[in-house]
């Protein structure tokens, strides 16, 4: 299993968990931070063609701030 698939699996596990939304948001934030690091996602630069970007956006949208 590649790294992106592992992040997808972890995201789906968190989403399906019985944790409250605050705990889920904390875990989503952790996933996002690791994706940023492992796939060099830039907050201010271009991420065109980055294969991890769709998952990163999906995790981001699942968070509650």
- pTM value is 0.90
Report the alpha-carbon distance of residue 47 to residue 52 in Å, rounded. Answer: 9
What are the residue boundaries of the structural domains of the chain, listed by start? Answer: 3-62
Report the alpha-carbon distance of residue 27 to residue 21 in Å, rounded. Answer: 10
**Chunked in runs of 10, what are the mean pLDDT values of the chain (65 residues)?**
95 97 96 96 86 96 86
pLDDT at 45: 81
Show the tokens assigned to 53.
């970007």
């Amino acid at each position: 299993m590649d790294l992106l698939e592992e992040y997808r699996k972890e995201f789906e596990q968190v989403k399906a968990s019985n944790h409250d939304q605050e705990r889920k948001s904390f875990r989503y934030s952790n996933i996002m931070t690791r994706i940023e690091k492992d796939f060099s996602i830039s907050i201010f630069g271009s991420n065109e063609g980055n294969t991890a970007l769709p998952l990163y956006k999906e995790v981001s949208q699942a968070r509650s701030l």
